[in-house]
Amino acid sequence: MKLFQSKWFSAVLLLGCFYSVEGSAAVREYWVAAEKVQWDYAPSGVNLMKEKAGLGPWGETRVYSKYRYIQYQDASFTSVVPQPEWMGILGPQLKAEVGDVLKVHFLNKADKPLSMHPHGVKYDEDNDGADLRGKGGVIKPGETYTYTWEVDEGAGPGPKDGSSIVWLYHSHVNAVQEIYDGLIGTIVVTQKGMAKSAQDPSPKDVDHEFTTMFMVFNEEDGEEGGLMHTMNGYVFGNLQGYEADEGDTVRWHLVGMGSEVDLHTAHWHGETVLNAGRRTDVVNLLPATMTTVTMLADNPGEWLYHCHVADHVVAGMSTRWKVNPK
């Protein structure tokens, strides 16, 4: 059943990305809207790591008004492409293989000017999604803009990387505010020749690609109860759904965001990872760090996965992930 669910998810995600060929390049089209939402940092209502400890000051207000990037099936922007549970507040994961072109049709369904600015991929000024000079820098409410991003060699894995790497995208009209709003997501680029198929650019040598963003959202001008120490927008184990089977190869795409408080050290219990050829079980992240590591999930169990910074753990930056036995 679990296997069936994960296959169903990837099929839907494939439907959500329209694949075509122009000349020699594969074009991958996505439809993404920015929308105002209500976000619950702990939808279970409890501390799932230590129930008796409660949610502390962070549980006094759990729901805040946020913005999110939401993926739609097509240009009608009517049916939402469902995301795996573990993606949390992140926008859709835009996937491509080196040599492809990403076309992202952006609709601003929110109440202020917004944009999409990508890291890593190649763009001209009109497709930078930032600054006032390019056409894509400021998209007003109700307007649509199509960003064209070239996934060239410089956007792909380097000699010491695995077969795929992660890049951020985020709104960049008032970038600081909009990242804290929740307008952030990732792009994953697979090495040329390593895609599963023409339609699915995920790397063929891994079974799962999980993404985690470590960031402290600042909801109440620095008041402790509004400093939400999140993994993908969730606190105290409310981030659910990281699950692999014994023997699977798992790729973890890690990103950090925020300010000086955002020095994070992602730590998995139960397994180690390869980080650009080095073996570890802790990966350090600073704001806008993008790191991809690979794990052989060979140790069944339900394991902790948390930031190792002392006061971040206490404030809820932790969850669990699972390796099912064969």
Which window, 114-122, 203-211, 235-243, 312-320, contacts Cu ion (CB under 5 A)? 312-320
CA-to-CA distance for 122 and 115, rounded, in angstroms?
A: 17
Q: Torsions phi, psi of 83, nearest 5?
A: -110, 150
Q: Which is nearer to Cu ion, 107 or 283 (CB)?
A: 283
Minimum CB separation of residue 218 from Cu ion in Å reads 14
Minimum CB separation of residue 287 from Cu ion in Å reads 11
Instruction: Give the 3-state secondary structure of residue 300.
Output: coil
* 45-58: b (≥16 Cβ within 10 Å) or e: ebbbbeeeeebeeb
Indicate which single residue of 213, 309, 315, 323 sits in contact with Cu ion (rule: CB under 5 A).
309
Q: Which is nearer to Cu ion, 48 or 194 (CB)?
A: 48
Instruction: Give the 3-state secondary structure of residue 158.
Output: coil
Indicate which single residue of 28, 170, 208, 264 sits in contact with Cu ion (rule: CB under 5 A).
264
Minimum CB separation of residue 34 from Cu ion in Å reads 27
Q: Torsions phi, psi of 223, nearest 5?
A: -65, 135
Instruction: Say whether residue 213 binds Cu ion (CB under 5 A).
Output: no
List, in order, residues 6 or more apart from 8 with CB less than 8 Å away.
none
Q: Which is nearer to Cu ion, 112 or 308 (CB)?
A: 308
CA-to-CA distance for 247 and 259, rounded, in angstroms?
A: 37
Q: Which is nearer to Cu ion, 172 or 312 (CB)?
A: 312
Q: Which is nearer to Cu ion, 110 or 231 (CB)?
A: 231
Closest residue by Cα to residue 101 from 22, 187, 203: 22
Binding pattern for the stretch 268-307 against Cu ion, x by CB under 5 A and - elsewhere: ---------------------------------------x
Q: Which is nearer to Cu ion, 104 or 307 (CB)?
A: 307
Minimum CB separation of residue 228 from Cu ion in Å reads 12
Pairing of strands 63-72, 25-40: antiparallel
| Structural tokens at position 183 | 């307008």
Enumerate binding residues for Cu ion (CB under 5 A). Answer: 264, 307, 309, 312, 317
